[in-house]
Amino acid sequence: MKIAHILNPINAHNRPELAYIQGITFLSLQKALAYNKEGKVQIYSTQYPEDHKSIPNFVKKLPDLKRSVLDVNPKLKKRKLPLIADILTIAHQELHADYIIYTNIDIAVKPHFYAYVQKKIQEGHDAIVINRRRIAWQKKKAYNLEEDILEYFGAIGKSHPGFDCFVLKKELIQKFILGNICIGISFLETSIIHNIAAFAEKPIYVFDQDITFHLGTEVLVSRRKNPFYWHNRTIYFREIQPQLKKYWSIKKFPYGEHSFLRRSISWTLNPSLFTRNFLELEGKSWWQGLKMRLDELRWRVLQK
- pLDDT at residue 290 in the model: 41
Please tell me whether residues 209 and 273 are part of one structural domain: no
> Domain range holding 190?
3-252
Number of domains forming the structure of the chain: 2
How would residue 294 be classed by pLDDT, with cut points 50, 70 and 90?
very low
Q: Give how far the C-alpha of residue 245 lies from the chain's centroid of Cα atoms, to the nearest Å.
A: 20
Q: What is the pLDDT of residues 206-251, one digit of tens each?
A: 988 899 999 988 776 656 689 999 999 999 999 999 999 999 998 9
CA distances from 152 to 19, 110, 159, 163 (A): 17, 9, 14, 20
Last residue of a domain, one of 210, 230, 252: 252
Q: Which pTM value belongs to this model? A: 0.89
Residues 62 and 120 placed together within one structural domain of the fold: yes
Kindly state whether residues 66 and 167 are assigned to the same domain.
yes
b/e 188-203 (16+ beta carbons within 10 angstroms → b):
bbbbbbbbbbbbbeeb
Return the closest-CA partner of residue 190 out of 292, 84, 263.
84
In this structure, are 245 and 268 located in the same domain?
A: no
Dist. CA 135–CA 149, nearest whole Å: 11
121, 95: one domain: yes
User: How many other CB atoms are there within 10 angstroms of residue 51's CB atom?
Assistant: 19
Residues 121-135, mean pLDDT to the nearest whole number? 95
Mean of the pLDDT values across residues 24-53?
A: 93
**Domain shared by 244 and 268, yes or no:** no
Backbone φ, ψ for residue 32 (5° rounding): -70, -40
Question: Is the same domain home to 95 and 151?
Answer: yes
In the structure, what pLDDT confidence band is assigned to residue 285 with cuts at 50, 70 and 90?
A: low
Task: Give the domain CATH number at 69.
Answer: 3.90.550
Radius of gyration in angstroms for the set of CA atoms belonging to the chain, rounded to a whole number: 21
Q: Are residues 202 and 284 in the same domain?
A: no
Per-residue pLDDT averaged across 5-21, rounded?
A: 90
Distance spanning both ends of the chain, measured CA to CA: 54
CA 219 to chain centre: 15
DSSP per-residue letters across 80-123: -PPBHHHHHHHHHHH---SEEEEE-TT-EE-TTHHHHHHHHHHT
- Pick from 304, 303, 190, 296: which is nearest to 253 by CA? 190
Same domain, yes or no, for 76 and 120?
Answer: yes
Are 240 and 118 within one domain? yes
Q: Which residue, 215, 231, 252, sits at the end of a domain?
A: 252
Burial class (CB in 10 A: 0-12, 13-18, 19+), 160: buried
Co-location of 244 and 213 in the same domain? yes
Q: Which phi and psi angles does 44 have, rounded to 5°?
A: -130, 165
| pLDDT over 80 at 296, yes or no | no
Residues 232 and 276 in one domain: no
